[in-house]
């Protein structure tokens, strides 16, 4: 039915081929909705984890108990939040599966290389990487659904069920975050709320659980991305002509972005790296890509900005938490040094 209605719309007479969607508009919209719901779940769980970490640190240090966490001031889901959700859904729906696959591959290469070189700062890197992965997660879910449901007879129905489940999970994660922000202190002290007691006892497992879920999601997305990109080539020569400059460009971008993150503050470095890596992809697509790819990459700028700008407080919260951990570490080291000197003097 939807294909018959779409055939009646004379888009080919008014728009060139590189401006039209590569799939049915309804399928693209449902894929974008699933991606936006995944981003919403990720942001809610990251905020919940940072809130639990600050609460546990305030319990250990009573002087910081009166300090209001900075990331709590932006947890409102009013009109601005709904408009942002709709905007991200539209961007993910319009961005083609080919460019979404390129974004996924670039993010996975950056995540693996950054984690291997992070060293003792792995926890800080993981928290920042989760915040930076918002739009890439939406692209991963979109291209994975495109790959899994490709050729299905009732594709729109499968995507509708996936969108309904994603909406339910996003709603439940938002309600959990609001419940914890409002009642966690009271319920955890009184010990009569099952949700807050579970967060109190197993809240530290939230970050490893998120990491495992992201690894599984992007592992499936990498397979889907490679398959989607290779479908565009008719021979191995064309594929090699595309993959060789793409690999070189990605490697240079990863090296540059790692140096940039060590040189600049957290949020500023993240915004700069978004411009650099998407700008590099734009130049690459101008040489070996298509005009549709260039247009979709330019739209990815808007998608990354709509995800990162409202969540700059999460990056700042991760950096402030790292500074607090560093100060506690230095205090312990200063306390250990006199003890070791006394033991050496006794010897």
CA distances from 300 to 168, 275, 291, 335 (A): 26, 10, 14, 50
**Is the predicted pLDDT of residue 197 greater than 90, yes or no?**
no
Tell me which H or E stretch contains 277. helix 266-288
Q: CB of 128 within 8 A of CB of 315?
A: yes
pLDDT of residue 263: 58
pLDDT (tens digit per residue) in 203-219:
888 888 999 999 999 99
pLDDT (tens digit per residue) in 262-318:
555 556 666 667 777 777 777 777 776 677 778 888 888 888 888 888 887 887 776
Torsion sign across C-alpha atoms 87, 88, 90, 95: positive
Q: Where are the domains of the chain?
A: 22-59+71-322
Q: Which two tokens stand for residue 162?
A: 């996936």
pLDDT of residue 66: 45
Local structure of 130: helix, strand or coil: helix
**Is the predicted pLDDT of residue 147 greater than 80, yes or no?**
yes
Q: Helices 266-288 and 97-118, interaxial angle, to 10°?
A: 130
Q: Rounded distance, CA 37 to CA 74, Å?
A: 18
**Is the predicted pLDDT of residue 146 greater than 70, yes or no?**
yes
Q: CB of 127 within 8 A of CB of 300?
A: no
Mean pLDDT over all residues of the chain?
76
Average pLDDT of span 9-32: 63
Torsion sign across C-alpha atoms 139, 166, 125, 51: positive
- For the question of whether the overall pTM of this predicted structure is more than 0.85, the answer is no
**Is the predicted pLDDT of residue 14 greater than 50, yes or no?**
no
Residues of the chain above pLDDT 70, percent? 68
**Is the predicted pLDDT of residue 190 greater than 70, yes or no?**
yes
Tell me which H or E stretch contains 236. helix 236-263
Tell me which H or E stretch contains 2. helix 2-8
């Amino acid at each position: 039915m939807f294909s018959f209605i779409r055939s009646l719309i004379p888009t080919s007479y008014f728009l060139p081929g590189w401006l039209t969607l590569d799939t049915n508009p309804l399928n693209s919209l449902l894929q974008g909705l699933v991606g936006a719901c995944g981003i919403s779940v990720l942001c809610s769980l990251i905020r919940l984890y940072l809130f639990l970490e600050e609460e546990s640190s305030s319990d250990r240090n009573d002087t910081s108990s009166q300090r209001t966490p900075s990331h709590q001031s932006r947890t409102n889901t009013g009109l601005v939040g709904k408009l942002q959700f709709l905007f991200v859904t539209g961007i993910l729906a319009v961005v083609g599966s080919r460019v979404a696959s390129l974004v996924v591959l670039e993010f996975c290469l950056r995540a693996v290389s950054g984690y291997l070189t992070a060293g003792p700062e792995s926890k800080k890197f993981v928290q920042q990487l989760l915040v930076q992965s918002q739009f890439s997660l939406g692209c991963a879910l979109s291209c994975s659904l495109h790959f899994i449901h490709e050729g299905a007879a009732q594709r729109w129905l499968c995507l509708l069920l996936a969108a309904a489940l994603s909406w339910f999970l996003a709603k439940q994660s938002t309600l959990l975050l609001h419940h914890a922000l409002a009642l966690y202190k009271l319920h955890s002290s009184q010990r009569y709320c099952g949700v807050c007691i579970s967060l109190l006892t197993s809240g530290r497992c939230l970050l490893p659980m998120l990491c495992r879920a992201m690894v599984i999601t992007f592992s499936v997305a990498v397979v889907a991305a490679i398959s989607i990109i290779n479908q565009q080539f008719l021979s191995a020569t064309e594929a090699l002509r595309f993959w060789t400059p793409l690999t070189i460009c990605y490697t240079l971008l990863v090296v540059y972005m790692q140096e940039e993150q060590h040189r600049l503050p957290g949020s500023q470095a993240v915004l700069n790296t978004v411009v650099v890596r998407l700008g590099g992809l734009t130049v690459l697509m101008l040489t070996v890509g298509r005009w549709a790819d260039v247009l979709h990459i330019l739209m990815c700028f808007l998608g990354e900005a709509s995800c990162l700008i409202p969540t700059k407080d999460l990056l700042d919260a991760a950096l402030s938490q790292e500074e607090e951990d560093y100060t506690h570490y230095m205090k312990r080291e200063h306390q250990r040094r006199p003890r070791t000197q006394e033991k050496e003097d006794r010897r």
